[in-house]
Amino acid sequence: MSTRVPQGVSAEVFEDAKARMRAVVGRRWVIDEESQGLASYYDIYSPASEMTTAPSAAVAPANVEELQRVVVIAHELGIPLWTTSAGKNYAYGGPAPREAGMVVLDLKRMNRVLEVDTESAYAVVEPGVSYFQLYEHLQKNKIPLWIDCAAPGWGSVLGNASERGVGYTPYGDHWMMQCGLEVMLADGTLFRTGMGAMENSNTWNLFKYGYGPYLDGIFSQSNFGIITKMGIWLMPEPPGHMPFMITLPREDDLHMATDILRPLKINMVIPNGVLTPDLIWESATKVPRSKYYTGKGPMPDSARKKMAKDLDMGQWNVIAGLYGPQPIIDANWGVIRDAFAKIPGAKFYTGDDRPGDVSWEYRKKLMRGEPNLTEFNLMNWVGGGGHVNFSPISPTTGDDAVKQYEMIRSRAHEYGFDYMGEFAVGWREMHHIFMLMFNRTDEAETKRAYELFSLLIDEAAAEGYGEYRTNLHYMDHIAKTYGYNDDALWKLHRRIKRALDPKGILSPGKQGIWPLES
């Protein structure tokens, strides 16, 4: 009998639940402490012990019918189910649940590409479909559509979109490209959103809004239901495309670069999200830190300068792409070049420039929708596996970029860590991603990482910057920073949660939404 059980559930009820779920999905698809493989659901990258979020079991239904029967059992017995699918989500908590003892609901076996419409350019996928799988499906069938993937190619198309992740082509706002959901509620009810609510609809995956309230958004970054199918728009292969990188030699070039980018993005001169990784992020996929510095604390300037020179990198590196017929690419590239030429020392690279540059190669793949795993090379920077992403949103201005950069860098250095970050400019806002890398085998360093992250949340909030997504351990903390008018929004989230899942069995605590709080 397992020693670990969900909170508030007796060992007997839990054994009963597992037995009944095994009768639905088959013995091997209910994994617990006594089976092989439960550790694959642990979060072994966060700055906290993996046991604080270790599940008691995982259950993996093969299809919607099995899922429904599993959910009904969980609902009846009060078993908390934490949903995950393909991918690892390392920097935000892996597949682990919010709280130790919860049961992971793993949808990886529901992995059919249900439809691809070449003419209207969309696919319908189940939760377990990975970027690799969808890409291969299109390649194998010679369908001239591109996917837009997250950096980790093993990620779930549906899962990443529903967490509002972003990608690298002009279709990089994954949630915006989603069209049409099928969702299961905690009591097993199944419904379809938008036009899909019409029995024989021919526009479920063509028109997002349908008739009446537009619900899809409430099932993103949410624990209100389980998404079982999603339509996702795909980009027709363009007649041409041109990736580019502009290296900027000085740290304070960030200010001017950001102000240059704002109008280029708002006016869609640059159609995809513009990434501006710093020197360390963009070097860390190519070399380990130890090649340039083996001391304690953040890498000193002298070592940074040498690395920049050796690798021909900027302190900031502006990366984006152009897409379309050649005359349009040429016209836009002229505007972009003229704008960045104002930054002294800016160097311009396109397409086949920089042969053999590992980071440029995988960036180019991402910008043409070719999934890969190269960004995981970052893990070799310090070694020891620990990493967690701090991801505030800010206005796209030089002032904001520099303020955030200085705030985070100086705290990171104070706590003994490198600043490894990138800015991703969307349409009117920037995501700033600070990747906090630490040696998880060093207990003191891990503790410092945990504390630094908490401090950054509060300091960012004090300046009006909020995070768009976070690791399990900070979900409650960040929810509290969204406290306008006496926590009015989170009170509303909980009110909806109780209406849709009164027993609170679906992903309790996700994004700080605990069902039973008022």
Catalytic residue positions, numbered: 92, 468-469
Near its own copies in 426-455, by CB under 8 A:
426-429
Helix (H, G, I), strand (E, B) or coil at 433: strand
**Which of 61, 101, 196, 509 lies at the binding interface for its own copies (CB under 8 A)?**
196
Near its own copies in 63-102, by CB under 8 A:
none
Q: Which of 226, 234, 21, 233 is nearest to 127 (CA)?
A: 226
Enter the DSSP assignment of 89: -
Near its own copies in 139-168, by CB under 8 A:
164
Q: Smallest distance from the beta carbon of 219 to its own copies, in angstroms?
A: 7
Q: Smallest distance from the beta carbon of 461 to its own copies, in angstroms?
A: 7
Q: Which residues are CB-neighbours of 362 under 8 A, at least 6 positions away?
A: 151, 285, 372, 374, 375
**What mask of x and - would describe binding to its own copies in positions 290 to 329, judged by CB under 8 A?**
-----------------------------------x-xx-
**Which of 221, 350, 439, 454 lies at the binding interface for its own copies (CB under 8 A)?**
221
Terminal CA-to-CA distance of the chain, rounded, Å?
35
Near its own copies in 164-193, by CB under 8 A:
164, 175-176, 179, 185, 189-193
Distance CA 348, CA 302 (A): 24
Our finding on whether 493 is near its own copies (CB under 8 A) is yes
Q: Which residues are CB-neighbours of 200 under 8 A, at least 6 positions away?
A: none
**Alpha-helix runs per DSSP H in 344-430:** 358-367, 398-414
**What mask of x and - would describe binding to its own copies in positions 366 to 405, judged by CB under 8 A?**
---------------------------xxxxx--x-----
**Which of 218, 242, 358, 402 lies at the binding interface for its own copies (CB under 8 A)?**
218
Our finding on whether 123 is near its own copies (CB under 8 A) is no
Distance CA 53, CA 60 (A): 19
Q: Which part of the chain contacts its own copies (CB under 8 A), choosing from 43-51, 147-155, 311-319, 331-339?
A: 331-339
Per DSSP, the residues of 165-183 read -B-SSTT-BTTTTEEEEEE
Q: Which part of the chain contacts its own copies (CB under 8 A), choosing from 16-24, 46-54, 129-137, 488-496?
A: 488-496
Q: Which is nearer to its own copies, 428 or 447 (CB)?
A: 428
Q: Where are the beta strands (DSSP E) in 108-194?
A: 113-117, 122-125, 145-146, 178-184, 190-192
Distance CA 392, CA 436 (A): 13
Q: Smallest distance from the beta carbon of 489 to its own copies, in angstroms?
A: 4
Our finding on whether 332 is near its own copies (CB under 8 A) is yes
